[in-house]
Amino acid sequence: MNKLSLRFFNIYHHIFGEHFNKRIDYKFPSNVMRWDLVKEVIKRKNYKRYLEIGCDTDLLFSKIPDLNIKIGVDPISGGNYRGTSDEFFKQNKNYFDCIFIDGLHTYKQVKNDILNSIKFLNEDGVILVHDCLPANFYQQAVPRCKMLWTGDVWKSIVELRTKDNIDVCVCRIDMGVGIIKKRKNSKKLEFNCSDFSKLKYKEYYANYANFMRIISYEDIFNFLNA
Ligand SMILES: C[S@@+](CC[C@H](N)C(=O)[O-])C[C@H]1O[C@@H](n2cnc3c(N)ncnc32)[C@H](O)[C@@H]1O
């Protein structure tokens, strides 16, 4: 997105947005990034089949070792499959051990990507979702108005946290990495909401610890092996 559009939507959100200016400092560690997590998970679990949705300049994709299957999906750049995630899943026949979702950061698309990923996830596999922890209203507002943009990915995580047969937490590193296992929900979020797309950042700010089930990097293998 170019600077002019970012500026335009920034003004748009200032006028029509939530008028809520509080920030969250998650204190992300500076020495652990998403690729450290993904590489460690692949190594420790001896995973052989990797899929990445949204690759951009291959910052992450290029750091993944050669595996039996290694597919990177992006309509514009990076990876090795040129097209959108929806197009990819329509023709896909592979099953994966580790799927990293980092494509279009809107609630609806991320939810779609997660549901499609669940269909093609091996029994002991894991789905990872980038950009789950926004620091302020503008960082998560749609349409995008900031270079550093998480989008409203967080809403899809809150929704999944209310389901019975999906276990979800968020690792407190690198803008938040959601971790999703296909198994009974071990800490179901009791929260009634008829339309998760309408959740407000103000509500997130007041409840994020409960909504997101945030864990430290050191705890990810306790979660994965539970
Ligand atoms: C934040 S970047 C990905 C960064 C990369 N995963 C990394 O860790 O460095 C988001 C990418 O998603 C791609 N994208 C946008 N819409 C998409 C879609 N519908 N399906 C797949 N990728 C999409 C964009 O082209 C962009 O390259």
CATH code linked to domain 3-224: 3.40.50.150
CA of 210 to the centre of ligand 1 (A): 28
Report d(CA 49, CA 68) in Å as an integer. 6
Tokens 């929900």 appear where?
A: 185
Q: Which atom of ligand 1 is nearest to the CA of 76?
A: 25
Residue 36 burial by Cβ neighbours in a 10 Å radius (0-12, 13-18, 19+) = middle
Measured in whole angstroms, how far is the alpha carbon of residue 86 from the centre of its chain? 16
Q: Is the CB of 54 under 6 A from ligand 1?
A: yes
Ligand 1 centre to CA of 190 (Å) is: 32
Residue 167 Cβ contacting ligand 1 at under 6 Å: no
List pLDDT tens digits, range 190-205: 999 999 999 999 999 9
Verdict on whether the full-model pTM lies above 0.85: yes
Structure confidence by residue, pLDDT tens digits, 146-202: 999 999 999 999 999 999 999 999 999 999 999 999 999 999 999 999 999 999 999
Tens of pLDDT, residue by residue over 29-41, are 999 999 999 999 9
User: DSSP letters of 57-90?
Assistant: TTTTGGGSPP-SEEEEEESSSSSSEES-HHHHHH
